[in-house]
Amino acid sequence: MGKGRAFDEIWGHGGPENPRPDFAALSEWIADTPQSELHRRQQSAEATFRQLGITFAVYGDSDASERIIPFDIVPRIFLHDEWQRLSAGLVQRVEAINAFLEDIYGERRILKEGVVPAELILKNPQFRPEVAGIRPPHGIWAHICGIDLVRTGPDEFWVLEDNARTPSGVSYMLENREAMIRLCPELFRSFRVAAVDSYSDMLRETMRSVAPTRASSSGVPVCVVLTPGHFNSAYYEHSFLADTMGIELVEAADLVVDDDVVYMQTIAGRVKVDVIYRRIDDDFLDPLVFRPDSLLGVPGIISAYRAGNVALINAPGNGIADDKAIYSYMPEIVKFYSGSEAKLPNVETWRCREPEALSYVLDHLGELVVKLVDGSGGYGMLVGPTASKAEIEAFRAALKAEPHRYIAQPTLALSTVPTVTETGLAPRHVDFRPFVLTGSDGVRVVPGGLTRVALKEGSLVVNSSQGGGTKDSFVLLPEGHGQIQTQVQA
């Protein structure tokens, strides 16, 4: 798991001339397709993304312009057996996350039994006492999870972080696939690839399945996507998902709460809303409960939620399961709720709030990755081996001042996938975000996900806000059954 030459998922350790046997067809395709043609197809995909408005904004960037995330034409491929093992681990982990959230906002058995220190939960800014005692419809908290995974060898997968608040990126998974089918149809003849275009249907069914029992009189729950508005960096995804699910995209001004019931204001009058997929952070969700200065939230929405009249996806308070200090206890959390060892291991983690761990981290800053416990998007992070002396010393001072705010991890030799660069094909490091949906009818793993790629040579930082790109992720089907991806969804 330490440093060393990275494992390439297509070429293994053998290089282009001697690829892993299962990927000989892809390696052949790469070799037979001229570089100029790969570049042309890639540029065609990016032109389409720009035309569609698939962009994101980088907060604090002086350019202030919206960008597309760079796309790479060479896909990443998961074998069927690999995917089966990954899926089993993801289901186990997400079930444990839901059980953990239900417990800490309810009975708190895990705290009473001393598995996780109580102060780490109860004094954590991500813990929301405002929702303690509330039980969401059907007892489900994390309906949509994006569990970030990294790979270091043929059978070595590690969970890097759990995204149980508002994980983004699924629109890139879907648009990347459409681009690949259009631009590289020959690959779908060489490989039996599981379809991902049913994601929107799966999400809509998940939403309907968690509607309160007192749902709309029509019998079909009314579901909406709540967005902070078009200035949000992920607004394209909000509108894309609402559109593909065939449900309304709403802002706070479109909703009103009356007698603990949420209504959508339409031209034809008020319509009762049963399920809200909210893409607004807890802080801004309800000015009567959280930040009183929020103009993005809906006054009274938590009261309606507490009364059991509306389902909020994902549930308020989930940020505690995203916290990187809590992440370090996930193996114990999984075992506590499932009774079994975690099928997907964590990356080794030092909690800087513990004096012994802090001492080790301060002594090895140049070798480690150090992260804020509540950070995201690659911000507030030190990658020791690539940091300057000045950056390391600045981080040393920050760590000494507020050690409880940081965790540290070893620098992993993340796996690579061949990637188109200006000087030809070269290995680039990748991570992976599969999407896991939990409804009242069970847990489902989408057969695909978002592969992020660090486009700079040697870089381990894959975040789009830090210059990363994306690839399509093929999940192979066993021979003889399953839904094959063969055409673009109309």
- Amino acid 319 reads G
Place of tokens 């929405």: 301
- Amino acid 264 reads M
Reference 435, options 102, 208, 200, 246; nearest CA is 200
Alpha carbon distance 36, 231 (integer Å): 37
The three-state secondary structure class of 232 is coil
Helix, strand and coil percent figures for the chain, each rounded to 5 = 35, 25, 40
pLDDT value of residue 13 = 83
Reference 151, options 71, 76, 74, 72; nearest CA is 76
Taking a C-beta distance cutoff of 8 angstroms, is the pair 306, 262 a contact? no
Q: What is the DSSP string of 143-181?
A: SEEEEEEEEEETTEEEEEEEE-S----HHHHHHHHHHHH
Distance from chain centroid for Cα 419: 22
pLDDT value of residue 294 = 94
Measured from the Cβ of residue 57, the count of other Cβ atoms closer than 10 Å reads 17
Alpha carbon distance 271, 268 (integer Å): 9
**pLDDT digits (tens), the chain, 490 positions:** 444 578 999 998 878 888 999 999 999 999 999 999 999 999 999 899 888 877 655 544 444 456 778 899 999 999 999 999 999 999 999 999 999 999 999 999 999 999 999 999 999 989 999 999 999 999 999 999 999 999 999 999 999 989 999 998 999 999 999 999 999 999 999 999 999 999 999 999 999 999 998 655 568 999 999 999 988 888 989 999 999 999 999 999 999 999 999 999 999 999 999 999 999 999 999 999 999 999 999 999 999 999 999 999 999 999 999 888 899 999 999 999 999 999 999 999 999 999 999 999 999 999 999 988 876 655 678 888 888 999 999 999 999 999 998 999 998 889 999 999 888 899 999 999 999 999 999 999 999 999 999 988 887 777 666 668 999 999 999 976 555 665 444 3
pLDDT value of residue 14 = 76
CA angle, residues 434, 335, 154, in degrees to nearest 5: 45
Which of 94-103 are b and which e, b meaning 16 or more Cβ less than 10 Å from the residue's Cβ?
bbbbbbbbbb
3-state SS string over 5-42?
Answer: CCCECCCECCCCCCCCHHHHHHHHHHHHCCHHHHHHHH
Burial (CB < 10 A; 0-12, 13-18, 19+), residue 306, is: middle
pLDDT value of residue 489 = 40
pLDDT value of residue 204 = 97
Alpha carbon distance 171, 167 (integer Å): 11
Q: Give pTM, 2 decimals.
A: 0.91
Cα R_g (the chain), whole angstroms: 23
Strands (E), 25-143: 71-78
Alpha carbon distance 262, 214 (integer Å): 12
Taking a C-beta distance cutoff of 8 angstroms, is the pair 158, 344 a contact? yes
CA separation, residue 229 to residues 88, 235, 280, 365, 464 (Å):
36, 7, 10, 40, 21
